[in-house]
């Protein structure tokens, strides 16, 4: 079946550092890809999405590009802030079979 | 729209009791998902409905778990009898169509003592 594998955490960075969280997927067909963010005590919120190959999703300084040739959707941000501290989930939706990675906890220190 | 609404936010119950979790999806969304989140197992899909019909319930742990969607605006997840290992955060999510993003509720934190 379809699956998502993402970089294990936790990840700890200093403010203004660069962030990359790796995500690869296995799927048949043409899934849509997503990054979600979860803050403590809250549900998952959509951060960005891409629906086809070579699409770039972006939001709040975060970016990810749908790479079909490498089956990847890595999350990047050039300069992280303390407020970015959260758990990040990579996900795919393939005909409503929605799969999530294990999540990566990011802590940004001042 | 108020988003996906779940109730209760927190539930503490004794082992053996029946627990019912409730979800109201976003109006106009035709798919609804129930997930369970634990530290050990991460986010697990329990069941999803399309147009109120259960499509995939392969993630439901065992017969103690059941889910219903009597209409487009309401779903329940029931555990009977509950056990301590059922303690987790249960999320409901909905989306508008195939391959689209799912919108999550705030979750119900269930503690079975």
Residue A1, pLDDT score: 81
**pLDDT, tens digit, for every residue of A42-94?**
899 999 999 999 999 999 999 999 999 999 999 999 999 999 999 999 999 99
User: What residues in chain B have their Cβ under 8 A from chain A's Cβ atoms?
Assistant: 4, 31, 33, 42-43, 45, 48, 50, 55-56, 91, 93, 95, 98-107
Asked if residue A87 lies in contact with residue A106, where contact means CB atoms within 8 angstroms, the answer is: yes
Which residues does chain B have within 8 Å of residue A94's beta carbon, measured at their own beta carbons?
A: 99
**pLDDT, tens digit, for every residue of B32-57?**
999 999 988 889 999 999 999 999 89
User: Which of A71, A62, A76 shows the shortest CA–CA distance to A94?
Assistant: A71
* Backbone phi and psi for residue B85, each to the nearest 5 degrees, phi listed first: -70, -5
Confidence band for B97, pLDDT divided at 50, 70 and 90: confident
Please provide the DSSP assignment of A11-33 as one string.
EEEETT--EEE-EEEE-SS--EE
**Residue B13 distance to chain A (closest CA, Å):** 20
Whole-angstrom Cα distance, residue B101 to residue A35?
10
């Amino acid at each position: 079946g379809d699956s998502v594998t993402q970089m294990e955490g936790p990840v700890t960075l200093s403010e203004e550092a660069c962030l990359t969280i790796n995500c690869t997927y296995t799927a048949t067909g043409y899934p849509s890809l997503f990054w979600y963010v979860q803050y403590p005590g809250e549900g998952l919120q959509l951060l960005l999405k891409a629906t086809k190959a070579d699409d770039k999703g972006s939001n709040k300084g975060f970016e990810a590009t749908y790479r079909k040739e490498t089956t990847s959707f890595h999350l990047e941000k050039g300069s992280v802030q303390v407020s970015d501290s959260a758990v990040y989930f990579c996900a795919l939706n393939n005909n409503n079979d929605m799969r999530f990675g294990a999540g990566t906890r990011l802590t940004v220190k001042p | 729209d108020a988003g996906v609404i779940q109730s209760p936010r927190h539930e503490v119950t004794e082992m053996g009791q029946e627990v019912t979790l409730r979800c109201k999806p976003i109006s106009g969304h035709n798919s609804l998902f129930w997930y369970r989140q634990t530290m050990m197992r991460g986010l697990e899909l329990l069941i999803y409905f399309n147009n109120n019909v259960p499509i995939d319930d392969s993630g439901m742990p065992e017969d103690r778990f059941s889910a219903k969607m009597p209409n487009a605006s309401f779903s329940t997840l029931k555990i009977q009898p509950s056990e301590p290992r059922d303690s987790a955060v249960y999320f409901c999510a909905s989306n508008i169509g195939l391959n689209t993003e799912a919108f999550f509720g705030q979750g119900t934190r269930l503690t079975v003592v």
